[in-house]
Structure 1
Amino acid sequence: MATSISFVGLTCFLLSLCLVCSLKEGYAFEELRESYAESYLTHTFEVSSLFASSICNHSTKANERESTFRVVDKYGPCYQPNQHRSVVSPSLTEIIRSDRARIYSIHARLSKNSGRRDHIVEPNSLSIPVKDGRAFRTTNYLVTVGLGTPKKDLSLVLDTGSDLTWTQCQPCTKCYKQTEPLFNRTQSSTYVNVSKTDPVCAYAKRPGTVPPGADTLCFYRIAYGDGSISLGFFSKETLTMSAAEKINSFLFGCGTDNTGEFDLEAGILGLNQENASIVFQTAQKYNKIFSYCLPSSASSTGHLTFGSQTPAPANIIYTKLVAQKSPSYGLDLIGIGLGGTKLNISESIFTTPGTIIDSGTVFTYLPPVAYTTFRDAFRVAMSAYPRITGPSADIDTCYDFSKNTSVTVPVISFFFKDGTVVGMPGKSSLITYNSTLSCLGFSEYDDDDDESIIGNLVQRTVEVVYDVAGQRIGFAPNGCT
């Protein structure tokens, strides 16, 4: 049975025609100035579609574009190293723990004067929190890039929260185990160390001290929310995107001392709004425009594309970026809705702390008041299905769909200050761990002072277009299948 969403269009409502419209394999994307009509938008899908298969289903849309990387889930069959070994996905509790570590880092970075005791200050960098968690043993999405001459393929985490792209390098003082061979800088004809006196060295977050005998070279040091660290040479190298697309003298971190809870991946591809990110390094070529589509499951592929697309994605709508949240990507969220109806939550709950969208956080996090209202409304909408106890207090709304062949879930709507309303398919509101455990992929913060985060789970199958030069973000349905 094909995925489908039926709704009464707003235009139909305004004209009092009461016509019923439907979108096959889609959902509502309307740019509205008023609230939705009183119709209830739902998303019906087969329960079997919640689970990944053992075979990789490739999205064809990535093949139609230049400057494109294929995006895969690192725990699924589309990640080639997994074809030769068994891989255990993290539990829901581990995902939440990892998310918490990440969002503490995000909030520390966004807050200039947090004053919290659980923060330490790194030399020449911003505050980094020390919290329990596994920052990379979660549902992270990988892209394979070519580095060096001759090029070596490396799988990096797509991360809108990071600036510096880095990978582990030989010769290595301390490196964690990864699936692909370490990048050997001595075997590349295009590798160049950045001098300490080079102006671009200022892009690196430098350690307080450098290794003995390396006083003339530029070093970087990155610390993450769980205490994981990457340290090494700040360098230049050729980055290969495709046979026709190469970036010469690309600045990256060549990590020779890497410790922490890293797993499988060879490093990070930084996509935020700082000078060292690939977005800013390729600004002249791609005009600070990139987009991605995260796959619907671990057995599907998505894509990461740089530059504007012609034609533009179908049915795309844009909302403004909030400059004050830079280097993260801030949005002017003022409300959230279910089934097309905006919930009765004060706009200040969202606008006072603000909101960001993030590719590395799995769940979507809301302030306590907003989350409780949203969760309770979701439970009412899902009252036809048996609710079960979740694996932890942070995951408190779970269902057993094992006796159902299909499920109908309300569409999730995000309401923005400029009048834009973006509808996400109800399926993307669920995180499924096994045949008897599917949970709401939303959670709450400890207090109302923290920014909301729109995580990657709810973004699945949507083409998210980051027009940094134009200070806007676009959303288009059916970006990948």
Structure 2
Amino acid sequence: MATTTISFVRRSCFLLSLCIVIICSLKEGYAFEESRESNAAESYLTHTFEVSSLFASSVCSHSTKANERESTFKIIDKYGPCFEPNRSRALPPPSLTEILRSDRARMNSFHARLSNKNSSRRDMIELNAASIPVIDGSTFRTSNFLVKVGFGTPIKELSLVLDTGSDLTWTQCQPCETCYKQTEPLFDSTKSSTYATIPKTDAVCKYVTRPGTVPPSAASLCYYGIKYGDGSLSTGFFSKETLTLSTDKITGFLFGCGTNQKGDFDLEAGIMGLSQEKASIVTQTAKKYSKIFSYCLPSSASSTGHLSFGSQSLPSKIIYTKLVNKKSHYGLDLIGIGLGGTKLNIPESVFTTPGTIIDSGTVFTYLPPLAYPTFRDAFRAAMTAYPLAPTRPGDDLDTCYDLSKATTVKVPEISLFFKDGKVVGFPGKSSLVTYTKTQVCLGFAPYEKGDDETIIGNQMHRTMEVVYDVARQRIGFSPKGCT
């Protein structure tokens, strides 16, 4: 991203009758201003920033937050300059249509799991402190994020997709029957002194689903199968290995050694499962990290964020709200949405009846059909200074702007209201999806009829430290977690 000087001006900010806490996530290196503007009889907190700051640069800007922490993993975008292997391969970012298609497939699989359809075989079968840098990457040709961890002895570093909606951590392994092309060499278990297979009679084999057909070599061994909502799949040996998280070694870590992968995977070596299920890395490291992890997703493809395990490196100021049980997913008690601390007139039941999920693998934020038009119209009313741009037929994103004649843009803050009285404000910049200066879109859409949950996608998480305290069943938010 382009680098300029920060300018933060608080012109006027008032307390509402409720105890409203406003979190402002400021992007270091941008001219940035916070103010309240009257618009259609409402007073909204707005963020002003340079239009040029919406676009990634060709140079990687590493987050200093990650460097300040012990045992930090970087989070990286695999389509940006921070993913070093990309230097040898020019890879275009996914299109808006590809992202929407992937989001839709992911939401369909969530819906199937949560509604107990095919309960015997789910549509998505997830067949101290340590911290890792996180990279903005894209599995299934979308905008997801990568972290690099170590497998085996000696250590082989592999880039995995950070996924709070997946149970199992897996990577492609040699010898591979069917594998997609990844950046790093495939993991070779025969060259690791700490690798071990698991008999199918072992109790932990129940953590994964065994596919209907297994190769003869796996007849007596634990064999897993995962099928994702978009048809992508991974099958292989459920095994044990030493996992290295920065300087910490996790011995006997259960993971999938995948020998057959099909679908729209690209560049990444596999998936890091961060759900609440028994096979997830969160549960497996519970004694060491107390079921606490946090991440800060980078502001763009040319920046890095971080992933941390444990509580020692958490920010000092965090707003926590209750975690709601959504099986392996992370649910929130959302009761409303608004702009700049002002709650929109939408019945709470519109959100509470279906429920809400926060997910690192879904890109955009999807609202109930009864809530989206009110939110969209309020956002448009606050953005009348900028001309609307046409959208492509069939795309879910229906609110785009032409910013080609603007040097700065003023965007209302997005406020989420929770049942326990907590209010969290996300910077207006996080609500925008940029393609060109003539097409900058609101990254929200209505979910289709038949879907049940509001989903807060990863575009909204950017630069916010999101804390998952699974042991205490709460999720926290802290501003300025990374740049």
TM-score normalized by structure 2? Answer: 0.89
CA separation in 2, counterparts of 1:383 and 1:79?
38
Compared CA separation, residues 480 and 353, structure 1 to 2 (3 A): same
> In the alignment, which residue of structure 1 is the partner of 2:128?
none
* Structure 2 residue ranges without an equivalent (≥5): 34-40, 126-137
Compared CA separation, residues 3 and 108, structure 1 to 2 (3 A): farther
Kept in 2, the 8 Å contact 1:3–1:25? The answer is: no
Kept in 1, the 8 Å contact 2:295–2:306? The answer is: yes
SS of the residue 2:153 aligns to: coil
2:152 matched to 1:172? no
User: Equivalent residues in 2 for 1:35-434 (5 A)?
Assistant: 39-113=43-117, 121=118, 125-128=121-124, 136-242=140-246, 244-310=247-313, 312-323=314-325, 325-392=326-393, 393-434=395-436
Kept in 2, the 8 Å contact 1:41–1:339? The answer is: yes
Kept in 1, the 8 Å contact 2:240–2:253? The answer is: yes
- 1:391-428 CA deviation, whole Å, 9 max, x = no partner? 34411100111111110000000000000000000000
Q: CA deviation at 1:447?
A: 2.1
Kept in 2, the 8 Å contact 1:4–1:43? The answer is: no
Count of matched residue positions in the alignment of Structure 1 and Structure 2: 453
Kept in 1, the 8 Å contact 2:389–2:400? The answer is: yes
SS of the residue 1:298 aligns to: coil
CA separation in 1, counterparts of 2:270 and 2:424?
32
Instruction: Return the letter of the residue paired with 2:338.
Output: G
Kept in 1, the 8 Å contact 2:27–2:299? The answer is: no
Instruction: Return the letter of the residue paired with 2:333.
Output: D
Kept in 1, the 8 Å contact 2:296–2:481? The answer is: yes
Q: CA deviation at 1:216?
A: 1.2
SS of the residue 1:428 aligns to: helix
Kept in 1, the 8 Å contact 2:274–2:282? The answer is: yes
- 1:5-33 CA deviation, whole Å, 9 max, x = no partner? 7464444x669xxxxx99865999xxxxx
Q: CA deviation at 1:448?
A: 6.8
TM-score normalized by structure 1? Answer: 0.90
Identity percentage of aligned residues: 69
CA separation in 2, counterparts of 1:23 and 1:159?
23
CA separation in 2, counterparts of 1:23 and 1:232?
42
CA separation in 1, counterparts of 2:415 and 2:9?
14
Kept in 2, the 8 Å contact 1:4–1:25? The answer is: no
Kept in 1, the 8 Å contact 2:238–2:254? The answer is: yes
SS of the residue 1:136 aligns to: helix
Kept in 2, the 8 Å contact 1:6–1:42? The answer is: no
Instruction: Return the letter of the residue paired with 1:60.
Output: T
Kept in 1, the 8 Å contact 2:78–2:145? The answer is: yes
SS of the residue 1:250 aligns to: strand
> In the alignment, which residue of structure 2 is the partner of 1:454?
456
Kept in 2, the 8 Å contact 1:4–1:22? The answer is: no
Kept in 1, the 8 Å contact 2:25–2:463? The answer is: no
CA separation in 1, counterparts of 2:24 and 2:319?
19
CA separation in 1, counterparts of 2:368 and 2:24?
33
Instruction: Return the letter of the residue paired with 2:281.
Output: I
